[in-house]
Amino acid sequence: MTSAEKQKTDLPEPLDVIAVGAHPDDVEIGCGGTLARLVQQGYRVGIVDLTDGEPTPLSPGPHIRLAEAQRAAEILGVSVRVTLEFPNRRLFDSFEARVALAKIFRRYRPKIVLGIREKTPQASPDHWQAMQITDAAVFYARLSKWDDAFDGLPVHTVTRQLWYPLGLSTLQAVRTPGDVVVDVSESFHLKVEAIRAYETQFPPEKRRVFELVEHQARLLGLSAGFRYGESFTSPTAIGIRNLVETFAR
């Protein structure tokens, strides 16, 4: 058996969707309802945090934040949560970060990757860096003749990359009429519970965060005819075969 064949047999069960954030809690806030809904629908979902999010003003230490992240993952029902060790507050798009994330894509072979959509002014600049790292890692995951950079892991092509909005205070949740809105009415309570799992990050005086999450999900949901919704942007064109099946059912 060649080393490439051995690598293939050692791979874990694939995931349908991987969501990437800069810090534990980004993914929950941006698309936690969709992840929980996917799990309810029988899909295998994973989360990658590029940093452990520490230090932060309100947390006693990384071990507490990691425990909160694991608890949030259990609430959402995700199969895998990976926390990479790039530094919080100093996360930069780099070759090392791109390769580390691409290795996870090669290992877990997701069909869909969800990444941060845009800058978050007056919040952490790590989010913008995470977006660039994620975009690059989706590309790196499929590049052949480069296996030595990826520990011999086989190439993997992500079928679709989507971006989720994260800036809660920037009025960017509703952006263009072309965005996709996922119905999260059946899973919104799990999203809120998962965010609440970060007790150190969201004490009672930060209640505003939950109000923003609630109202944005209501606005997005109502705009598309649901109780609660989360929006996604496709960076590339969405091809469809049947206009009526897609838009009139």
Nearer to Zn ion, 26 or 54 (CB): 26
Task: Please tell me whether residue 54 binds Zn ion under the rule CB under 5 A.
Answer: no
Q: What letter does residue 233 receive in the DSSP assignment?
A: B
DSSP H or E segment with residue 63: helix 62-76
Name the segment binding Zn ion (CB under 5 A); options: 23-31, 35-43, 91-99, 225-233: 23-31
Residue nearer to Zn ion on the CB measure, 7 or 124: 124
Interaction between residue 65 and Zn ion (CB under 5 A) = no
Q: How far apart are CA 111 and CA 141, in angstroms?
A: 12
Looking up tokens 């993997």, which residue turns up?
156
Token output for 88 = 């919080």
Of 38 and 131, nearer to Zn ion (C-beta) is 131
Residue 138's identity, in one-letter code, is: V
**Site membership for Zn ion, residue 16 (CB under 5 A):** no
**DSSP bridge pairs for 162:** 114
Q: Is 23 in the site for Zn ion (CB under 5 A)?
A: yes
Instruction: Give the binding range for Zn ion (CB under 5 A) out of 16-24, 44-52, 102-110, 237-245.
Output: 16-24
Task: Write down the least CB distance from residue 28 to Zn ion, Å.
Answer: 10
Return all residues near 54 (Cβ < 8 A) that are at least 6 apart: 61, 62, 65, 88
Stretch binding Zn ion (CB under 5 A), from 26-34, 98-106, 196-204, 236-244:
26-34
Q: Which of residues 82-141 bind Zn ion (CB under 5 A)?
A: none
Task: Give the CA-trace dihedral at 109, 111, 114, 118, to 10 degrees.
Answer: 100
Q: CB of 177: closest distance to Zn ion in angstroms?
A: 27
What does the alpha-carbon distance between residue 249 and residue 35 come to, in Å, rounded to a whole number?
A: 23
Shortest reach from residue 112's CB to Zn ion, in Å: 21
Nearer to Zn ion, 7 or 51 (CB): 51
DSSP 8-state assignment for residue 17: E
User: Least CB distance from residue 237 to Zn ion, whole Å?
Assistant: 29
Joined together, the tokens standing for residue 244 give 């009526």
* Integer Cα distance of 102 and 113 in angstroms: 11
Residues 183-212 interacting with Zn ion (rule: CB under 5 A): none
Q: How far is the CB of 22 from Zn ion (least distance, A)?
A: 5
The interface region with Zn ion, picked from 25-33, 135-143, 186-194, 220-228 by CB under 5 A, is 25-33
Residue whose CB is less far from Zn ion, 201 or 231: 201
Residue (27 or 220) nearer to Zn ion, CB: 27
26 binds Zn ion (CB under 5 A): yes
Location of structure tokens 């965060």 = 209
Provide the phi-psi class of 154: left if phi over 0, else alpha when psi is between -120 and 50, else beta.
beta
Binding residues for Zn ion, total number by CB under 5 A: 3
CA 137, 134, 55, 73 dihedral sign is: negative
Q: Which residues bind Zn ion (CB under 5 A)?
A: 22-23, 26
